Structure 1
Amino acid sequence: MVGFCGMLGISAGMKAVFQLIRKISRSNSNVLIQGESGTGKELVARAIHDLSPRADSPFVPVNCAAIPRELLESELFGYVKGAFTGAISDRLGRVEMADGGGLFLDEIGEMDALLQVKILRLIQDRTVEPLGWRQAPKKIDIRIICATNRDLEAAVQAGEFREDLFFRLNVVPVQLPPLRQRPEDIPCLVDYFIRRQNELRPDFPVTGISPEALQLLQAYSWPGNVRELENIIERIMVMKTGNVILPADLPEKIVAVDSVAGKEKKTSRFASAVIPAEGLSLKTEVSKLEKELIVQALHQSKGVKERAARLLKMNRTTLIEKMKRNRINADMLNEP
């Protein structure tokens, strides 16, 4: 299957996500979607809602990172007239707007501690109290779907996110694979983006992409994931005069991937490890290899520790501890 609820993918990772969506859409359990920026977390949330028994009821998204923290509480829970200066009339909050349907809390990891408590109470009691409300709490019937690009388990360990709220949200976890882990999906994504741009602008001459250019796209690491790919295809189509996307049309950072990867391969310790006649210290060599892999992960993630930790399949806090032990700092990222 190539397409599913507005998402595209033929990779095993995406097929597993599609199958999971079908299963969990039938339940009323809370869902926590985790994945890097640009992987399509809101598309997954909408698919879960659209396939659920609540499909005919509202689906209300809230980006917790886009709304100033001092306004987020009133945006979520609403307020009554006179609750504070400027509250000249009652205002319905997003939670009540979602009554009977689904509430999507995007970037839940950015929510401050006070609001985390209120969301925990909302989940436990299924009630809501607008700011300034002086009556019994209002009963609410919603399904809560959350998403984050943070490692919430690491945030819990660091004391940045409530453990009890994490357990309440993480009833059904959904992990979205980054685009670099599913290069086989890039051809169908590129084809879709080209066709969609042509529908929006029939005067665009681009009709396809060369195999060489496609191979370069599949070799790139895509830190911005599908959103970055979409933006690059649109930019090329705006500037392009010919009808086929060629390697020369791609950004330099993508074209340069092959040469950089070749240099890294030549200098990799995996290819050059030889046991000398006098022997060696396995512990020392393993420590050196660990340090090399951490530095490579930091290079690849452009110094973003959470992303580097994902590449190395460890928590962010564990990565930081290993960086300290190996004396790895930001200056090392600038080494040639």
Structure 2
Amino acid sequence: MKPILVVDDDPQMRDALREAIKRLGFAAVVAENGQDALNKLATTPIALVVTDMKMPKMDGLTFLKEVKKRVGSLPVLVITGFGTVENAVEAMKEGASDYLMKPFSFDTLTRKINSIMDAMNSVKEIITENPKMKKILLLANEVASGDTTVLIYGESGTGKELVARFIHQSSQRKQKQFVGVNCAAIPENLLESELFGHEKGAFTGATDRKLGKFELASGGTILLDEIGEMPLPLQAKLLRVLQEKEIDRVGGKQTIPIDTRVIATTNRDLYKESTEGRFREDLYYRLSIFPLHIPPLRERPEDVIALSDYFVKKYASLLGKGVKGIKKEALSVIEKNPWRGNIRELENVIHRAVLLSRSEFIDTDDFLFNDPVTPVTDSDAKGIKAMEKDLIFKTLKEVDGNKTKAAKILGVSVRTIRNKLNEYGKDFPGV
């Protein structure tokens, strides 16, 4: 695994960041100024740069520009002092992946680093052997060259966000930000501020000015995930943004021009939603200038095997297991499964199988499927709870008890891990 490069002229902050990064399970390389960091970049493969903005000799913004010239795809997390939002915004416009405002907590640093690393891991080549998907990727590559708004639709877990990132990475905007907003995960009363930002005093609790995702993605791409969940009043404001290329911060007195490409995803039939009054018809047509439909995994049988092989290699490497593949009988079981949860479900099943496998090749007994149709009896429930406990303990053992890393591998929150450990008692020493 490539290390994370920490750049800060303050030795105490440098050491604190190095130790925090080690706690997250990553190796760390440190540099005391921008030039020192550039020298290290020239000789050492780096996964992520974490840099302070205020440094002597070469400030953080100049350093960021140099990094983007030399290694354009390398993600950079910038750290800036409280009250200097403008510096952070300028850094985002120059291609920084995200920013941290001092003072910040270890949990905040964890979320930022994990989010950036997850995003980078997902921008790899899309695994497919299916003719339909190959055609879709050709279309996505064609539309990437312009600024056309794209609507990607399909069932949950089919890889819509991955295709959106593919479009961004294939475009002329790839050196700038890709900013995702889950419209279904943010409360309605906060979504407008999240998208367009707000001014200080705009509402109770607005103690400082906040920049919205559209401004942060300026020059790059914004992904409006699950756009069908957006409230109707906000849809009208979004339509105006798409038409006028400008936004209004909540509580603001002037419009702000933006240069942001929009990609939207949905698992709903937005045309039907629009005809039944649950989605604005004019917004539907404005978003669907270039629609792309991602077929479910059950219509892509070639990809089941290809993706299974990819996930086996991925989790065998992550978990340090000697699993090399899947037995022929087990492959037959995988091919026949309906995969209602699509690629996300397949990944979870293979992940668990790699953890549970005690040989070089996964067997049918290693599979733990999620079947929402079959009723669960009391004895089944006890068995599932036992397997869940075994899975969590195995993962913690693999990562030397690091709850943050275990949570990332299992796809759950650290709080879930803590709650489960409290539920199990002191069966896992040292955690």
Question: Partner residue of 2:290?
Answer: 172
Q: Within the alignment, does 1:198 sit opposite 2:321 as a pair?
A: no
**TM-score, with normalisation over the residues of structure 1?**
0.72
The alignment status of 1:227 with 2:344, answered yes or no, reads yes
Report the Cα distance in structure 2 between the residues aligned to 1:186 and 1:133, rounded to whole angstroms.
Answer: 50
1:36 aligns with 2:36: no
* Counterpart for residue 125 of structure 1: 244
- Partner of residue 148, structure 1: 266
- Equivalent positions of 1:264-303 (< 5 A) are none
SS of 1:8's equivalent in the other structure is coil
For 2:123 and 2:181, the matched residues in 1 are separated by 23
Question: What is aligned with 2:141?
Answer: 22
Identity of aligned residues (%): 46
Kindly indicate whether the alpha-carbon contact (under 8 Å) linking 2:352 and 2:368 is maintained by their aligned counterparts in 1: no
Q: Distance in 2 between matches of 1:4 and 1:23?
A: 18
Change (3 A) 1:15 1:33: same
Q: 1:253 to 1:129 in 2, by over 3 A?
A: closer
* TM-score, L = length of structure 2: 0.57
Q: 1:113 to 1:5 in 2, by over 3 A?
A: same
Out of 100, 104, 113, the residue aligned to residue 232 of structure 2 is 113
The alignment of Structure 1 onto Structure 2 pairs a total of residues equal to 252
Report the Cα offset of residue 4 of structure 1.
8.9
Q: Give the superposed CA RMSD.
A: 1.8
- TM superposition shift of 1:205: 3.3
Report the CA distance between 1:252 and its aligned residue: 6.0
The one-letter amino acid of 2:221's match is: G
Note the residue ranges of structure 2 that are not aligned, 5 or more in a row. 1-121, 375-431
Give distance in 2, aligned partners of 1:95 and 1:251: 41
Q: Which of the pair has the greater relative contact order for Cα pairs under 8 Å at 6+ separation?
A: 1
> How far, CA to CA, are the matches of 1:182 and 1:87 in structure 2?
48
Give the secondary structure class of the aligned counterpart of 1:184: helix
Structure 1 residue 24, shift from structure 2 partner: 0.6
> 1:130-153, CA deviations, whole angstroms, 9 ceiling, x for partnerless residues?
011012x11111110000011111
**Residue identity matched to 1:182:** R
C-alpha offsets along residues 70-111 of structure 1, whole Å, 9 cap, x if unaligned?
111111110011111111111100011111111110000000
Contact 2:226 2:267 (8 Å CA) reproduced: yes
Say whether the 8 Å CA contact 1:31–1:146 is kept in structure 2.
yes
Q: Is the 8 A contact 1:34 1:41 kept in 2?
A: yes
2:278 paired residue number:
160
Q: Which runs of 5+ in 1 are unaligned?
A: 258-336
Q: Residue 125 of structure 1: CA displacement? A: 0.7
Contact 1:184/1:218 (CA < 8 Å) preserved in 2?
Answer: no
**Worse-matched range after superposition: 6-15 or 166-175:** 6-15
> Partner residue of 2:326?
209
| SS in structure 1 of the partner of residue 211 of structure 2 | coil
